[in-house]
Amino acid sequence: MKRRDFVKRMGAGALVAGTLAGCSAQQQAAKGSAGGAARSFHWKMVTTWPKNFPGMGTAVNKLVALIDEMSAGRLAIKVYGAGELVPAFEVFDAVSSGTAEMGHGAAYYWKGKSEAAQFFSTVPFGLTAQEMNAWLYYGGGMELWQELYEPFGLLPVAAGNTGVQMGGWFNREINSPQDLKGLKMRIPGLGGEVLRRLGGTPVNLPGGEIFTSLQSGTIDATEWVGPYNDLAFGLHKAAKYYYYPGWHEPGTTLECLINRQAFTELPKDLQAVVTTACKAINLDLLSEFTARNNAALHQLVTRHKVELRSFPPEVLKELKGVADKVVAELAGRDPVAKRILDSFQQFRDQVVAWDEISERAYLNARGRGMDQA
């Protein structure tokens, strides 16, 4: 055999051996990261929303599809809409007990478990979606949220935001704070307590029950989300006046609840898949609402002849004054809530100073439409 042929064959053999060694190393790494050879997991997710409901319901579908794709099918999750496996307002307990490994909802639904939880959904006249995400991810909010849910065996992560909501649907005009007295309104969380202080009656209903309650007169008014979701529910068929702004929900964070034990049983790479996918959906859902709300509002006003109204300044002033008292009183009776509120308000004060010379200044300069540019 000629020397050069021998060298070529040896080189080829070394290449094959190196490739096989590399493949073996990758396989071993995969086994190590997976906690076993290609182990798969099957989870259940329960939600507070009707299954496949536009926006929030479809965001859940996107989330589980993304987890399936990112995990190469090693983590498969079956979605159960509100009422399919458990009622909408039993999602927290279902995930805490392990009946389901994941849930999707909003933290203000669980104020019966912990009043402080409401700070992680939204605060009346509080943070916008962009500000809320900044507080959670870079202002210490996420650590406080996880600490609050730890006794329940839950890991919370942000998984969607509605942006600034609408003020709601009313079958009476709201011209002064007096018009809120005696009003039966579906409104959850801290906003509901503000309404109570002004003489109204807050009613906590899951989304699937809102239309029939409003149409039948069980309630006089309701807030839900915004034009995109409100149109999907047909709320314009049950109420005449559509008010803005959503003083009670300026940037509502939606949460993915994860059973802590189930999460710790996942290998590290799948844990990263779950949390990263939730973060992606947190952005995606806010983007979808921003893209679709205006077209839906145009349809409501032009086709369905909805009367779009703004809350009078005196009403908003009264609402804000009461909201500040409600939040302060909650912090005063709950040391945990006080720690969370202190962090929330400190971050708000810092970000508002920046917003004044960035977001607000720019929006004022831009004006109402690009035609003024």
- pLDDT tens for 161-181 read 999 999 999 999 999 999 999
User: For residue 371, what pLDDT is reported?
Assistant: 55
**157 confidence band (pLDDT: 50, 70, 90):** very high
Cβ atoms of 286 and 162 closer than 8 Å = yes
**254 confidence band (pLDDT: 50, 70, 90):** very high
Q: Which residues make beta-bridge pairs with 235?
A: none
Alpha-carbon dihedral sign for residues 116, 121, 125, 126: positive
Q: Is residue 88 over pLDDT 50?
A: yes
- pLDDT tens for 181-202 read 999 999 999 999 999 999 999 9
Cβ atoms of 133 and 158 closer than 8 Å = yes
For 104-131, what is the mean pLDDT? 97
Q: Is residue 107 over pLDDT 60?
A: yes
Cα–Cα distance for residue pair 257/159, rounded to 1 Å: 9
pTM assigned to the model? 0.88
- pLDDT tens for 261-315 read 999 999 999 999 999 999 999 999 999 999 999 999 999 999 999 999 999 999 9
Least confident span in 21-25, 134-138, 197-201, 235-239: 21-25
User: For residue 369, what pLDDT is reported?
Assistant: 64
Domains of the chain: 41-163+252-289 (3.40.190.170), 168-247+293-337 (3.40.190.10)
Cα–Cα distance for residue pair 139/134, rounded to 1 Å: 6
User: For residue 368, what pLDDT is reported?
Assistant: 76
User: For residue 36, what pLDDT is reported?
Assistant: 47
Q: Of 197, 200, 199, 133, which is closest to residue 168 (Cα–Cα)?
A: 200
Enumerate residues 6+ apart whose C-beta is below 8 A from 217: none
From first CA to last CA, the distance across the chain in angstroms is 81
Mean pLDDT of all residues in the chain?
Answer: 91
Residue 29 CB burial class (10 angstroms; 0-12, 13-18, ≥19): exposed
User: For residue 35, what pLDDT is reported?
Assistant: 45
User: For residue 322, what pLDDT is reported?
Assistant: 98
Cα–Cα distance for residue pair 166/294, rounded to 1 Å: 12
Cα–Cα distance for residue pair 90/342, rounded to 1 Å: 30
Q: Is residue 12 over pLDDT 90?
A: no
For 361-373, what is the mean pLDDT? 78
Q: Which residues make beta-bridge pairs with 242?
A: 169, 308
CA distances from 65 to 53, 72, 143, 294 (A): 16, 10, 27, 27
**86 confidence band (pLDDT: 50, 70, 90):** very high
User: For residue 220, what pLDDT is reported?
Assistant: 97
